[in-house]
Structure 1
Amino acid sequence: MDSTDTADRDTFRRKIIHVDMDAFYASVEQRDDPALRGRPVAVGGAGPRGVVAAASYEARAFGVRSAMPSVTARRKCADLVFVPPRFEVYRAVSRQIHDIFAEHTDLIEPLSLDEAYLDVTENKQGVASATELAQVIRARIKAVTGLNASAGVSYCKFLAKLASDLNKPNGQAVITPRQGADFIAALPVARFHGVGPATAARMERLGLRTGADLRAQTPAFLTAHFGKAGGWYHRIARGIDTRPVQPHRERKSLGSEDTFLEDIHDLARARAEVSTLVTKVWALAARKTLRARTVVLKVKYADFRQITRSRTLSVPLGAEAEFQTLAQALLDPLFPTPQGIRLLGVTLSSLSGDEGEPPTGARQLSLW
């Protein structure tokens, strides 16, 4: 048996739980304000440029979703109650939840404030059943925070994440190794991790509508049409996902963005806004002792069309002034703008850590 076969065999022995809090931000608000309970709640800005950050299940029944413009959400639900976000509170509750995870395993991979993978193949309480352990964790979260969590249990991350969504809210589901391949065979390709609308449309044109359709294809066919992702599709269509739970997952990017009450048409105003964002992101990178080689500028126009521009250096940025120069150089060619800009964002990526050494200090400006 080669190393790949051994990895596949070991994968089916793992016990993975994906825990996902139910409507996390909105549920925290309903917990803390009894007047909001049972009502359609949206966390976000209520103004004409506001965006829904999270929606309660009562709001979701009307079609309100996260990332939806607030004006659209209001049209869908006239009784929608908007609540400004309280991220410090959400982070504090998230820490409580992760402390509960740590009572059971050290193999925790956070995906966001409200969801994480847990490898409980070997757990601190010695509970043999991952299904039972997921119930214990969910009950403990409810007792400590007053909030509901859903969970998915399986032998791999791909299926555990899918399972956590099957019986939401406040439920859990299990997909065993025996069930995995058949479950995936019936799964629409649009539900596959990494398959966005464009890829799903391309698969549709090729007659690939379900996991069974993918499983029928050769690795050569999938690679020819989807590049490196073809190998992933070939394996996952057979229920094989060898990705481990990574307790220290590397951060891929660090950024900030702002939506404006009035569209920006003037370059000077746009440059001022970008400068503010750069200062904010650089300070955050310094606090986290992260260095970056890539600067990304995000622009969303009045018609919601979105573009990004980026520059990647051969060595990490050495000073905020260099960051400012690169970000402004990405912005300037976009003017004069054909229409107003409603949102600007700045992101650092290609990150690396430097223990105890913030990304500061003078260095010759890198050119591209």
Structure 2
Amino acid sequence: MLSDLPIRKIIHVDMDAFYASVEQMDNPDLKGKPIAVGGSSKRGVVSAASYEARTFGVRSAMSGVKARRLCEDLIFVKPRFDRYQEISKKIRKIFYDYTDKVEPLSLDEAYLDVTKNKKGNPSATLIAKEIRERIFKEVGLTASAGISINKFIAKVASDYNKPNGQKTVNPEDVLPFLEALDIRKFYGVGKVTAEKMYQLGIFTGKDLKNKSVEYLDNHFGKSGRYYYHVVRGIHTSEVSPNRIRKSLAAERTFRENLSSEIFMLEKLEHIAKEVSKRLTKSKVAGKTVTLKIKYSDFTLQTRSKTLPYFISDKSIILETAKDLLYQEKLQNSVRLLGISLSNLNTEKKAKQIKPKKEVSVQLRFAF
């Protein structure tokens, strides 16, 4: 029962078209124009699109060639991740003025638990409004926010009044809100899953709620139980300010497909160097090296090897990646290579973080 669960005041803040908005802020000539952060070449991919570009159907993860077809006047801008990180730090500094329970998901979004907050403000709605106003005043960008009793609903709500808006889903409104929601709006339901649900006659939260846990388990495996609970407003994951990194990776897409392992060795060296650099910067090491191979037909393959000791040195990462490359014959020409390191020495720290005890409260909760 929802009333038996601990009710928190969770805010999900999501910056509006973050990368593109930063570029428009830094270059006034780009304001009001359709821009895409990313590459326009044959291999280029859109990292972010301004709202002006989105009206033409341009979206992140879309190929630059397709984006150009959709919008002839599209302006491509090279990404500046150092700048995005700089802005992200300023935004997070604002978050920490309200609570230490901040869980960043990426440079442009984060969860905040303001059940108890530094301002002593009982209204999560007013806190979210104040945070958004400060971001605009102090940073120059707009943000949207979702406010509710748990992370799942707050995440869904933050997309409701984008851009530059917010939505609060009060405790008593949670179930009606979820029942009326289009199944495509459920966080965790991707395009393929949505199509499968449509085929099963599941179009809204209400349709999903009418299915038994056994039915959902049979059709969606482990995810079935997740869908069964979230549509009932049950999502007990806490805002975790101590999220432990579980892997670290780097990858590269090539202008031309590579057809021989010999041509890939130089590329792997650059990727291994980048992974080592990131490991050193994060002060971590790992045991499991994974080689990611994406073929010209977009088939994806991974090959992994676990070492008996932690590594962060470029030479060892590279040698292990080479072994994995030669482990078996390539299936096709290759368009992308990546190296990741997992089984990090941060996992010991994760085990030491003990979950806090929760106290159940009534649904009458001021939002």
Q: TM-score range by the shorter chain?
A: 0.7 to 0.9
Kept in 2, the 8 Å contact 1:298–1:306? The answer is: no
The runs of 5 or more residues in structure 1 that have no matched partner are 357-368
Distance 2:281 2:10 in 1: 32
Aligned with residue 9 of structure 1, among 4, 8, 11: 4
**Gap change, CA 1:151 and 1:319, over 3 Å in 2:** closer
Shift of 1:312: 5.0
Shift of 1:355: 9.7
Aligned with residue 163 of structure 2, among 147, 160, 169: 169
What amino acid maps onto 2:257 in structure 1? Answer: D
1:292 counterpart residue number: 286
Kept in 1, the 8 Å contact 2:310–2:345? The answer is: no
Question: Secondary structure, in 3 states, of the residue corresponding to 2:67?
Answer: helix
2:331 matches 1:345: no
What amino acid maps onto 2:82 in structure 1? Answer: E
Question: Secondary structure, in 3 states, of the residue corresponding to 2:345?
Answer: strand
Question: Secondary structure, in 3 states, of the residue corresponding to 1:346?
Answer: strand
Q: TM-score, normalised by structure 1?
A: 0.87
2:358 counterpart residue number: none
Kept in 2, the 8 Å contact 1:134–1:151? The answer is: yes
Displaced runs of 4 or more, over 6 A = none
Shift of 1:228: 3.1
2:299 matches 1:306: yes
Distance 2:348 2:76 in 1: 41
What percentage of aligned pairs have identical amino acids? 47
Question: Secondary structure, in 3 states, of the residue corresponding to 2:121?
Answer: coil
1:75 counterpart residue number: 69
Distance 2:201 2:289 in 1: 38
**Gap change, CA 1:301 and 1:172, over 3 Å in 2:** same
Question: Secondary structure, in 3 states, of the residue corresponding to 1:183?
Answer: helix
2:210 counterpart residue number: 216
1:49 counterpart residue number: 43
Question: Secondary structure, in 3 states, of the residue corresponding to 1:74?
Answer: helix
Aligned with residue 207 of structure 1, among 183, 201, 205: 201
Moved more, 195-204 or 25-34: 195-204
What amino acid maps onto 1:9 in structure 2? Answer: D
Instruction: After superposition, give the CA deviation of every residue in 1:202-253 in whole Å (9 maximum; x if it has no partner).
Output: 4344433332233223333333433332322221111111111000112232
Shift of 1:82: 1.1
Instruction: After superposition, give the CA deviation of every residue in 1:28-80 in whole Å (9 maximum; x if it has no partner).
Output: 11111111111111111232221111111111111111111111111111111
Shift of 1:315: 4.5
Q: CA RMSD in A?
A: 2.3
2:162 matches 1:193: no
Shift of 1:310: 2.9
Shift of 1:102: 0.4
What amino acid maps onto 1:131 in structure 2? Answer: T
Shift of 1:86: 1.1
2:95 matches 1:104: no
Shift of 1:335: 4.2
2:132 counterpart residue number: 138
Question: Secondary structure, in 3 states, of the residue corresponding to 1:349?
Answer: strand
* Paired residues, number: 348
Q: TM-score, normalised by structure 2?
A: 0.88
1:332 counterpart residue number: 326
Instruction: After superposition, give the CA deviation of every residue in 1:80-130 in whole Å (9 maximum; x if it has no partner).
Output: 111111111111110000000000110000000010000011111111111
Distance 1:58 1:118 in 2: 29
Question: Secondary structure, in 3 states, of the residue corresponding to 2:267?
Answer: helix
2:260 matches 1:244: no
1:366 counterpart residue number: none
Distance 2:162 2:41 in 1: 30
1:364 counterpart residue number: none
**Gap change, CA 1:180 and 1:205, over 3 Å in 2:** same
